Structure 1
Amino acid sequence: MTETIVSGFRPTGKLHLGHLHGTLTNWVRLQDSYRCFFFVADWHALTTGNVTADVIRESTEEMVIDWLSVGLDPARSVIFRQSDIKEHAELHLLLSMITPTPWL
């Protein structure tokens, strides 16, 4: 079975060269050898101070356009928005009910 990579960015503003050289060039390279899931962590962005829902919405669209422009290929990788996967929130709720603080 092919190994899987799951990674994402919070849409809290514009991407910069650090994103390109630190992560995105690796994502483009990795999508040829691994099963990749890249996601927009829009729910995680809600925990970032001074970021409004409007900024998250606008940044989400711009960020995915940037990802596609550097070579992420939806035919070779799964690209999704965290809030579109309801099971993510359900799993968080269940795990937060049973995970003791010392385990964190």
Structure 2
Amino acid sequence: MGNFLKESKEFLKNNSPELYETLFESVAARFGRLVFAKRMQTDFTQQGLADEAGVTFEAITKIEGGNSSITMSDYQKVFKVLKIANEELAEVLTEEI
């Protein structure tokens, strides 16, 4: 599966750079992957996380989906509930995909 993902990413990067950037490189996409991974490490459902953070269920689905129409306020609320530190955010933003 790892090779398939790597080959798929490379294919997109070479043949559709705009789609590749949207899926794998945008800040929203990176934050979304981090939030999803952190939520999976907890007992939170999407609705539970939304309730705890004081945001809508739709906001959580948008964040995890990499949608860029999320406010920083909503990100901050979710990061706080999931205990995502600034160092983790910096790491996600600088990691090689």
Larger % of strand: which? 1
Q: Report the TM-score when normalising by structure 2.
A: 0.28
Higher relative contact order (CA 8 A, sep 6+): 1
Give the structure-1-normalised TM-score: 0.26
The structure with more helix, counted as a fraction of residues: 2
